[in-house]
Amino acid sequence: MPREPEYIIGVDLGKQHDFTAICVAERRAVRVDGEPNQPARFAGGVGRYDIVHLERHRGEPYTALPGRLRDLLGAINRAHGGRQRGPAKTTLVVDQTGVGVAVVDVLRAAGLEPVAVTITGGDATTRGADRSWRVPKRELVGAVQVLLQGRRLRVAAELAHAPTLVAEFQNFKAAISLTGHDSYGAGSDWREGNHDDLVLAVALAAWYGESVRVPVATVGSYFARPPERGPPPTR
């Protein structure tokens, strides 16, 4: 039988005049054909990702984010099958670089339990307390590149922001500077030049799904609260 999907929500927190982007990646284990006379199996560490929801906001207060994410979690559970199948396995991954630290505190106070990621220019990924990580830019970029090269990342064409995400992918580039340091982004730096907020939201989800995948918490409390607004993820 097919494995139940997992949902990873990637959130790129923009500064005051930048976009905050949210993506929902539906992750399913890849089916591996068995040897002759042996049944097929699922590769637990390898996933295929469908981007089933994209949104971006600018100018909204960060205090509105917990409610929006609760609505989105409720929509995911409804799309997953409602009470008959139980709540979906969902993980929230948030960029806390810069302004994100205070916002992550707000999300935690709201009971959302985000995985908080600080993006660094270093070489090593380290884990801290309270579900926090320090992750080099190259790791986030590499996660997306691996999925794209392996044809394991798909974007639902009917999503309103799908063309924007595709354009960001096309503009996005990774380079090594003359000093030997990584430089990523649509311009000369990760967060400068053309907008890359949707790419980063997807990268956060991809990195978590491919590199971490700690036991995913089942968010039963969110299922009890129906969403107040916002469409369910679109396949």
Which pLDDT tens digits describe the chain residue by residue (235 residues)?
456 789 999 999 987 678 899 999 999 887 655 544 544 444 456 789 999 999 998 888 889 999 999 999 988 888 776 555 667 889 999 999 877 889 999 999 999 999 999 998 888 899 987 789 999 988 898 888 889 888 999 999 899 999 999 888 887 765 444 445 566 665 445 455 456 899 999 999 999 998 886 333 333 222 223 333 333 444 4
Q: CB neighbours (10 Å) of residue 45?
A: 8
Residue 66, both tokens: 């917990």
Strand pairing of 126-127 and 89-95? unpaired
Tokens of 226: 């129906």
Question: Directed axis angle between helix 100-109 and helix 65-80, to 10°?
Answer: 60
Q: Tell which residue, 104, 175, 181, 95, has the closest CA to residue 141.
A: 175
| Assigned CATH topology for domain 6-222 | Nucleotidyltransferase; domain 5 (3.30.420)
Residue ranges covered by each domain of the chain: 6-222
pLDDT value for 184: 62
Residue 72 near residue 227, CB atoms below 8 Å: yes
Q: Which pLDDT value is given to residue 112? A: 92
Amino acid at 61: P
